[in-house]
Amino acid sequence: MNYYNTLTYENELIEIVEKRQTFFNNKRILVSGARGMLGSMFIDAMMLLNRKYGSNIKIYAVTRNKKLAEERFIRYIDDNHFNIFFADINKDKIKIDEDIDFVVHGASNTHPFLYSGKPIETILTNVAGTNNLLEFAVKHRCKRFLFLSSVEVYGENRGDCEKFKEDYCGYINSNTMRAGYPESKRTGETLCQAYIKEYGLDSVILRLARCYGPGILQNDSKALSQFIHRAKEKRDIILKSEGKQEFSYVYQADVVDAMCYFLQFGISGECYNVTGKDSDVSLKDLAEKIADMSGVLVKYELPDKNEAAGYSMATKAVLDGRKAETIGWTAVYPIWEGIKRSL
């Protein structure tokens, strides 16, 4: 069954939108990375507001793959509130003849095979693509630019903290291909700050923990994504390390809720860690628990050279979520509840 047609998914969307029945009224929102797990669920939430409350939200969805996007958004293709643009944000200009209230920038290569297989594209999307959308936002008198950044901007834990607060800066070996993703995300954040300074563009940055959920794309090569894919297919889970790495995770519905929340309540120029409830766990524990839930085994296997080149070098990347909590946002789904919903 298609997860997007389930009652569970509908209820997750309802929980998100019922908290903000009027804020998005009459807003025009551009979403990059529209077909991704987060972008597509955000769009579904906005379109649900239209159906349920007559919110008159206009969506401009930006994505590269025409066929897959039309399949994902088939229910909206004939809806006047939904507009889709097939464009590469690194080089294509998006032509819209009206002002935009919000730009939600979620387009990015987000998993190891792409980091190693398309390192230049990975960097350009986070730098050139981000700059192009910031220019677009200024030109179209955007009221808020929301940049989806990553836990990876913190680099490697220097051993001087348990959890990353927003002012932490760890080590990244910039003389490596794998540095392209975290360094370019750092640059994307700095570009947001530059546009605040030069143009007064209201910008908010979300640093996301490792995201997961039933909406993960089939080609997503992140460890947890592969655990979930294999468990759903009743195949043994492959762990390609000793599994001692400890990371923070966050369920997709929590991220979309955070996107909505910080569009309304975030403070311009600030960044916020977005992490799940009770969701700090080692890869080994994650693999074993998912295997147990699915009735399969965990097997250990070394990655090939190309695959290993895309892996993060971080061994502990745990986020401190208290800054987000101080302005009123907290996650709903603990890790094992989110995993259960993903299988």
167 lies in a domain? Answer: yes
37 neighbors 213 (Cβ within 8 angstroms) = yes
Span of 86-90, 271-275, 306-310, 339-343 with lowest mean pLDDT: 306-310
pLDDT for residue 134 is more than 60: yes
pLDDT category at 70 given cuts 50, 70, 90 is very high
- Regarding predicted confidence, which is higher, 313 or 184? 184
Concatenated DSSP letters of 51-98: HHH----EEEEEES-HHHHHHHTGGGTT-TTEEEEE--TTTPPP--SS
- The pLDDT score that the predictor gives to residue 3 is 84
Specify the pTM.
0.95
**Into how many domains does the chain fold?**
1
pLDDT for residue 17 is more than 80: yes
Q: Is 33 exposed, middle or buried (0-12, 13-18, 19+ CB in 10 A)?
A: buried
- The pLDDT score that the predictor gives to residue 310 is 56
- The pLDDT score that the predictor gives to residue 241 is 86
55 lies in a domain? Answer: yes
Query: Residue 96 sits in which domain range?
Result: 3-211+250-275+319-333
267 lies in a domain? Answer: yes
9 lies in a domain? Answer: yes
| Angle, alpha carbons 103-105-106 (nearest 5°) | 145
Mean pLDDT, residues 178-207 taken together = 96
Mean pLDDT of the chain: 93
- The pLDDT score that the predictor gives to residue 2 is 79
Mean pLDDT, residues 202-231 taken together = 91
Mean pLDDT, residues 175-186 taken together = 92
22 lies in a domain? Answer: yes
- The pLDDT score that the predictor gives to residue 308 is 60
Among residues of the chain, what percentage have pLDDT more than 90? 82
Q: What is the pLDDT of residues 282-319, one digit of tens each?
A: 999 999 999 999 999 999 887 766 666 656 667 899 99
93 lies in a domain? Answer: yes
240 lies in a domain? Answer: no
* CATH at 189: 3.40.50.720
